[in-house]
């Protein structure tokens, strides 16, 4: 084969290839090989990180399962608080499940017109059946009874329990996405995390308690009863949710009269409309604080803005105290929450660990004037994800009740110090770093 060089070309029989083209091809091949190697490297790094997270989370879950199997039920301190008048409404705080359930069932039994009840979790146990039985009796009397529970929240609840509500009861099992195309819309992944009971538009309950025997005596949570015109606002929130997502042939037509109340405001997250006022409510109140912030929350995974507001408050001299469960029902969430403690402690924030039971409360009181009770955790799922609802209250007398409850909860806690926390074992720090990227999913 003869190859003759002619200027910038090599000549083959029947085929001429420019030298420049060959050089470009060689450069492209080198570039592709280099980037292909980089792609493999990046892929392997991502797989390694993901695998480390899976292994770490699995180990923690196994340890948690063993711990829970050997855990004995413990009592926890509680106090009785008196009812408080706030404007035209009477407010009662509940910090013990059995007392709350008794009051809720009494309210249900007194219903004359309507009962609206919404619960993220509704257990198939004694407490769950008590509520079903009382609701069935009122439906048989002709009272309009509407029930909402979340499908994902009750995946482990037997199907027979969820389908055995009395036929006279209007029932909605909320589904995050009902159509396949909804799976392509991140807004549709929001769960209904709300917990409400409204009777006759006059008496309402709102807070952290789901329905189940476990919560009645073994969990420390906080719920609020409102008797008065503010209940109509909560009733409207329920009916709006039902009419939007419930059976189209069963709309709620009854409407209770609403009115503006400068002392009691309702804030509800709406994932589909991308409105999340609860997070903004917290940030605004924290930014106004001058003396004290007493915050209790089950899962403390704040976003950057909320965390910055808490740190700034502490650095300007506000007494910021955050009460979290020392061991919650979600061990991975605990460890992700721990990744925030160093920043908080360095900023002068007091981190308090509740050790008597699972603390599930979602409350805050500021400067002896402002308070909130509701369903929203301080994590991303609640802040910018799920359907949530909180009530905001301006009342010094009510804030005093909240402070008394916080004092009871923090009388015997584990308080972290910066020195102790910074010197925790290296493997603990490593596990927290491995799980840190998951904070954006919780």
The pLDDT tens digits for 309-319 are: 999 999 999 99
Residue 200: CB atoms within 10 A of its CB come to: 21
Domain boundaries, the chain: 84-441
State the pLDDT at residue 328.
Answer: 77
The topology under which CATH files domain 84-441 is Endonuclease; Chain A (3.30.870)
Closest CA to 131 of 115, 142, 144: 115
Q: Which tokens hold the place of 299?
A: 């899962």
Contact 222, 95 (CB under 8 A): yes
Distance of alpha carbon 265 from alpha carbon 219, whole angstroms: 27
Closest CA to 156 of 128, 129, 121, 127: 121
State the pLDDT at residue 1.
Answer: 44
Distance of alpha carbon 136 from alpha carbon 324, whole angstroms: 37
For the whole model, what pTM was predicted?
Answer: 0.83
State the pLDDT at residue 383.
Answer: 79
Residuewise pLDDT in 10s, the chain (442 residues): 444 444 444 444 445 556 666 666 666 666 656 556 656 666 666 666 556 556 655 655 555 556 666 666 668 988 999 999 999 999 999 999 999 999 999 999 999 999 999 999 999 999 999 999 999 999 999 999 999 999 999 999 999 999 999 999 999 999 887 666 667 777 777 899 999 999 999 999 999 999 999 999 999 999 999 999 999 999 999 999 999 999 988 999 999 999 999 999 999 999 888 889 999 999 999 999 999 999 999 999 999 999 999 999 999 999 999 999 988 777 667 777 788 899 999 999 999 999 999 999 999 999 999 999 999 999 877 878 899 999 999 999 999 999 999 999 999 999 998 888 887 776 666 656 565 655 555 5
Residue 71 backbone dihedrals phi, psi, to 5 degrees: -80, 135
- Three-class secondary structure of residue 293 per DSSP: strand
Strands 196-199 and 203-207: antiparallel
State the pLDDT at residue 195.
Answer: 98
Distance of alpha carbon 136 from alpha carbon 111, whole angstroms: 12
3-state helix, strand, coil split of the chain in percent (to 5) is 45, 25, 30
State the pLDDT at residue 5.
Answer: 44
Closest CA to 325 of 279, 362, 292, 293: 362
């Amino acid at each position: 084969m003869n190859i003759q060089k002619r200027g910038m070309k090599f000549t083959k029989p029947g085929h001429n290839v420019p030298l420049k083209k060959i050089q470009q091809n060689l450069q492209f091949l080198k570039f592709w090989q280099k980037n292909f190697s980089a792609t493999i490297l990046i892929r392997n790094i991502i797989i390694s990180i993901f695998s480390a997270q899976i292994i770490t989370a699995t180990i923690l879950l196994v340890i948690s399962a063993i711990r829970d199997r050997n855990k004995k039920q413990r009592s926890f301190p509680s106090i009785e608080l008196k009812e408080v008048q706030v404007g035209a409404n009477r407010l009662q705080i509940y910090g013990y499940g059995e007392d709350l359930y008794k009051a809720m069932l009494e309210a249900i039994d007194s219903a004359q017109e309507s009962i609206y009840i919404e619960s993220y979790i509704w257990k198939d146990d004694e407490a769950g059946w008590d509520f079903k039985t009382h609701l069935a009796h009122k439906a048989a009397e002709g009272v309009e009874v509407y029930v909402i529970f979340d499908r994902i929240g009750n995946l482990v609840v037997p199907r027979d329990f969820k389908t055995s509500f009395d036929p006279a009861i209007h029932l909605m099992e909320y589904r995050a996405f009902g159509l396949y195309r909804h799976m392509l819309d991140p807004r549709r992944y929001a769960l209904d995390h709300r917990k409400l009971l409204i009777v006759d538009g006059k008496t309402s309950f709102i807070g952290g308690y789901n329905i189940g025997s476990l919560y009645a005596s073994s969990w420390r949570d906080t719920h609020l009863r409102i008797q008065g015109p503010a209940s109509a606002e909560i009733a409207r929130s329920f009916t709006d949710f039902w009419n939007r997502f419930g059976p189209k042939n069963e709309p709620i037509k009854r409407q209770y009269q609403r009115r503006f109340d400068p002392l009691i405001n309702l804030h509800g997250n709406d994932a589909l409309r991308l409105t999340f006022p609860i997070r903004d409510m917290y940030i605004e109140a924290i930014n106004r604080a001058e003396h004290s912030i007493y915050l209790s929350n089950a899962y403390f995974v704040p976003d950057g803005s909320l965390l910055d507001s808490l740190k700034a408050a502490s650095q300007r001299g506000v007494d910021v105290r955050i009460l979290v469960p020392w061991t919650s029902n979600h061990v991975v969430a605990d460890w992700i929450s721990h990744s925030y403690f160093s920043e908080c402690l360095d900023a002068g924030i007091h981190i308090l660990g509740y050790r008597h039971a699972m603390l599930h409360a979602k409350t805050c009181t500021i400067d002896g004037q402002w308070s909130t009770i509701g369903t929203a955790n301080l994590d991303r799922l609640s802040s910018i994800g799920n359907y949530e609802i909180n009530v905001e209250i301006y009342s010094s007398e009510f804030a005093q009740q909240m402070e008394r409850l916080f004092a009871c909860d923090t009388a015997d806690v584990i308080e972290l110090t910066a020195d102790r926390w910074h010197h925790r074992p290296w493997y603990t720090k490593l596990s927290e770093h491995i799980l840190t990227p998951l904070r954006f999913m919780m």
